[in-house]
Structure 1
Amino acid sequence: MGYELDQFISDIRTSLKRDPGPAGREEVRANLERLLQNQDFVEKYCGDKVERGLNVLYEDPDLKFQVLAHINEKARVSPPHDHGASWAIYGQAKLWTDMIEWKRLDDGKDPTYAKLEPEKKYRLAPGQAGIYQNGAIHSIDYPDMSRFVRVTGTNLDMINRISIDLKTGKVKQMTPQQAT
């Protein structure tokens, strides 16, 4: 029997209680990769028969982290965005997601404007996970039918997050999460 969702959740709780910072989150990232090796888990929560959209698999009542399955029907390229005061870990279940991590070139003092340049580009393939610490700006690009599992430090709909228009530099508040 492979590594299961309930064990993953228990391990998240243990890691974040011991160290809620980057080291504990790195343990969560590594365990998400371990979970994604379990093909029964992938099929049950991210397979072709799973309802399309954003599915909350677990929300911790004490630590507030969430485990979500993004069951995407349509391809999407997101604008650069952050997760506000939260962190996020993306783990690829099916197909791929191209990631760009962005570096701010401005001083960040103007809340309506940001100047960005790409800092790192890579592809998450099935079984791989990437971590984005509090305030990190990144963008995602995935094809039709891509699937990933995301762990966030909190319900992102409850905090301020921003997206940035690359052409104009305009910063805007993000709307509630969804999967295409």
Structure 2
Amino acid sequence: MPGSYTLQQFVAELRAVTAGGPQVSAILQQVKPLARRFAASRELRSRCNLQCDERQGFGFQLLHEEPDHTLAVAVLSWLPGRGTPPHDHGTWGVVVGVTGDEVNAFWQRVDDGTRPGYAELRRLSEKTFSPGDAIAITPEIIHSVRNETDRISVSLHVYGRNINFTGRSQFDPERRTVTPWTVVQN
């Protein structure tokens, strides 16, 4: 029964899936249904605090992380009309909508990456994700996220490694810049 699935059970299954270091595609395929199940659980909904950092436009509530910063599980709460710049993660991830909609835009880096601090991006596509929808993210995918509604939206994020420990980047397509990016975690 999805409603009784606990964080402890979810983390135990994540550990089993990632043990032995299978390919990223295999991990994502197995984590996606587990993350959907936990996103629908009573425990997750009881842990959502909906606190947002006004400056960054969203709140990052870390629910679990291994001592070596792997297997990070977090709830992100997005302020209305706010979002992120294009960014990568430097790790695999699965995101599941919990409440509200999120608009994800996907980008491609078109320069060769040899100039420090410089990046050219091309916007590829856009998709709206609703509660229960899941997206699998490989380490090299670049996307941006927006909450275009008038209410806080919430999503469950599962990462192979805490995103503040991956050396990930944010991009400014207009200025053609790339810089390191970490987020404020509650």
Fold-level similarity (TM above 0.5): yes
TM range (shorter): 0.7 to 0.9
1:35 aligns with 2:38: yes
Spell out, residue by residue over 1:93-122, the C-alpha distance to the aligned partner (whole angstroms, 9 max, x if none). Answer: 100111111112212222321111122321
TM-score (norm 1): 0.85
1:68 to 62, 65, 74: 74
User: CA-to-partner distance for each residue in 1:61-89, whole Å, 9 max, x for gaps?
Assistant: 367110001133443121111112x1222
1:115, 1:169 within 8 Å by CA — same for their partners in 2?
Answer: yes
CA contact (8 A) 2:93 2:137 kept: yes
Q: Distance in 1 between matches of 2:125 and 2:43?
A: 30
Alignment partner, residue 17 of structure 1: 19
Q: In structure 2, the residue corresponding to 1:81 is in which secondary structure?
A: coil
For residue 154 of structure 1, what is the aligned residue in structure 2? 161
Distance in 1 separating the partners of 2:83 and 2:77: 15
What aligned pairs does 1:1-180 form with structure 2 within 5 A after superposition? 1-2=1-2, 3-18=5-20, 19=22, 21-38=24-41, 40-46=42-48, 50-52=49-51, 53-61=59-67, 64-84=70-90, 86-142=91-147, 143=149, 144-174=151-181, 176-178=182-184
Q: 1:63 to 1:168 in 2, by over 3 A?
A: closer
Does the residue aligned with 1:54 lie in a helix, a strand or coil?
Answer: strand
3-state SS of paired residue (2:108): strand
Provide Cα deviations, 1:2-47, integer angstroms capped at 9, x if missing partner: 3332221111111111525221122112211122233x2342123x
What is the CA RMSD across the aligned residues, in angstroms?
2.2
Paired residue for 2:55? none
Given that residues 71 and 179 in structure 1 are in contact (C-alpha distance below 8 angstroms), is that contact kept between their aligned partners in structure 2?
no
3-state SS, counterpart of residue 47 of structure 2:
helix
2:92 maps to amino acid:
W
What CA distance in whole angstroms lies between the structure 2 residues aligned with 1:154 and 1:42? 20
Alignment CA distance shift 1:138-1:116 (3 Å): same
Query: What is the rounded CA distance, in whole Å, between the counterparts of 2:76 and 2:184 in structure 1?
Result: 8
User: Which amino acid in structure 2 is aligned with residue 171 of structure 1?
Assistant: V
Change (3 A) 1:42 1:32: same
> How many residues matched?
174
Q: Which moved more, 1:91-100 or 1:102-111?
A: 102-111
| SS state at 1:34 partner | helix
Per the TM alignment, residue 58 of structure 1 is displaced from its structure 2 partner at its CA by 0.7
Unaligned runs of 5+ in 2: 52-58
CA–CA distance in 1 between the matches of 2:184 and 2:96?
17
